[in-house]
Structure 1
Amino acid sequence: MLQGNKRFAEGKAEHPWQDKETRNMLTDGQKPDAAVLACADSRVPPEIIFDQGLGDLFTVRTAGQMIDDAVIASLEYAVKKLHVSLLCVLGHGRCGALQMAERELNDLIHAITAEADDSLETADLMDSLDERLAQSDSIVLRQAGISVWQARQAEADCLDDIERVHVAHTIEMLVEHSEIIRQALASEQLMIVGARYQLDTGRVEVLSF
């Protein structure tokens, strides 16, 4: 996949396995090499940025690569039924979903401080921010908002760093909520990798946590 991304970034994409023969060969089934959970952003199509072809990647895409039951079920299908050995969680630069999460988090913090009568009460209310985020009606706040807050607590609050923190948080949530993924990791049948696509260079940065 990284070799394919290198070709794409250098303007040397080969567009493999996109011919009639490959299409016909895949009519009886699929055996993708990897699953990719990526953002739905129209600028970040995994098959293109990794220069892959038909049948190579099992892709699941949502805004800000946020997860719900359908996302988890789809990835579990890839792991249990298709036996993918790699799961890549792919974030990207200038993510609109995370920018929305920043705005919603700022609005929530403003509302909290407006409730307080003094600085001590403000501090007490801010201590409950994690709980408020987890119980929010907004899925953006519940998933991406908490990533923004975690980044700020680590004093890593530029958008690039928030995007990296969000990829790590997404991986944590997948492992926490999917027994199938946990078992595949424990038996070394699956590896999860976090990555971040850079819009300006076309390069994919592999993240280490």
Structure 2
Amino acid sequence: MRFHDRRHAGQELAVRLMEWAADGDLVNPVVLALPRGGAPVAAEVARALKAPLDVLVARKIGVPGHPETGVGAIVGDDPPLFDRRALEMLDLTEERLSPDVARERNELHRRELLYRGDRPAPDVKDRAVIVIDDGLATGATARAALRYLRRRGPARLILAVPVCAPDSAAAMRSEADDLVCLHQPPDFWAVGQWYDDFDQVSDDEVIEILHEVSTSPSQS
């Protein structure tokens, strides 16, 4: 299974989640995108479910000099969640990574302010919360996001992604009440390999998506 772009992936994901909604399993849902890549995917799901859309900003903590290799993640003002095994293998410590954590924390707050402004984060207590990204590779940011949300008392916590690494999917099943993944290819090595168009999503696009969905007649 391949996806043309993130919106196409969101449409396919929405079909699966609509089946749950038809069975009455999604009570008072709210859709939370992990920006930036998760926003176009989540928009299609929110439209289909006629549910509110918002963002939950999570930032990956990468290896110094190799930021694409994640060893942890942060959400909000929570302490960083590190992969202890990865830290040991790479001979890294939390103290050594503290400048990286501080930098990513600043970027996280910048994006929260940019995307949401003065609007408060949605109240997720006693709601069905659907967390959406464009794919699941290591699962570092998704794990941090799910643990952050779990402490806020959702009735049901769902992680939904179009494509994911099988090992990461297995690990996430203990973090979410439900995991929805359309494609778990055994030869997974990167999320982008399963998209024809995987261009980077800009901040402006995220803001536009949030505005479009909030003002859509189907959401009112």
| TM-score (normalised: structure 2) | 0.32
| TM-score (normalised: structure 1) | 0.33
Higher strand share: 2
Greater C-alpha Rg: 1
